[in-house]
Structure 1
């Protein structure tokens, strides 16, 4: 089976195990079906996800110009506490920012290597947790905008990490902790303006099982620019990573906007 096209983050389906799909312009691949098969990957070029020009990717699938102009990659994406649409203040495009920021957001605890606090739009549950490779996740509060979610995350960073240790996540070195018990202790740590949104009946507890035949003991990230041709046996998928038998891992999300060729045998 041969595929060619622009890499975008893998689409997922919440099942047991999680189902993964790579989508290209004229085809798609259920990645689970490629487990235990040999995959050849070739780096062929770039295509910006925003302007579609064949320009070198700068960050998040965007070329340099688009990264610094598109509202889809404003600073408030990574730092939700910087959101200002609730004040009617634009960052780059108020119409876009209003649509994205002024909708229900979830602040959550996820267990991917250790307990992590994070923010996601309600519409992205449980996709966000799958993309992070979390084994478990629970919602803390549901708030009406991104700003309130952001200041909640900032307050809780004193008690929980806000980034996943990707190596430990891929090696399945996950601490054993009770997320629901941690959630029950969290009320006093919330900002005053967020406490009314704390719902003791919000008992969503998601458990994720990933399609992994074997977890690696050591992992090495594949750099498509330094290694434009790679071949290996696929033994797992977790988060947005393809895991190969030799411990090589490809972070698909990191290479959005890269044009690749892929052969599966």
Structure 2
């Protein structure tokens, strides 16, 4: 059954998209071979537009010709479809609900506001960074229930859905730290969160899936310059 289900798996993604990378990470954790199609977001393939006609965005997972869009929906589909390999969600319904709650928190709260901080200056940037710091404190308190004895030594097989989603976003935060010359995830303020992210960043599977620090720094630097000093219209 598992072999039949995994015979054709295609991911349409973008190299710098945390939403795409979390899908790839989940597939790798499950040991599911897949074909990857890199999308040019300024010139999207006809297949992407066909498979995701509503949002026209990456990622899209195409399993045996059937498309699934939106990263969290795709992750749930992966968990429901491939029972082999590590489970991304615990069996206990309450624990599953708690994981889903914090997955949604990380997904909803961090990507947009961190990008705002990286692309602005002055009061707008200060406001965005203050919001990031407050969100990180909330997350610090939230993950304490998952790790009452401190952060464990992670192996790929014991990553949950929360770690998959967190890896795709929080493990990239060193790039805006370098661009802005600040500390975002501070071990003095959020020590558990800092240790958590560092432990995830050390995993070889995470390292080979998320974009390199240098590439993200270069991309953010370009986006920041374009936002602060837009080219003149002639």
Higher RCO (C-alpha under 8 Å, 6+ residues apart): 1
Quick check: TM above 0.5?
A: no
More helix by share: 2
**TM class, shorter-length:** 0.3 to 0.5
More strand by share: 1
Q: TM-score by structure 1 length?
A: 0.30
Q: TM-score by structure 2 length?
A: 0.33
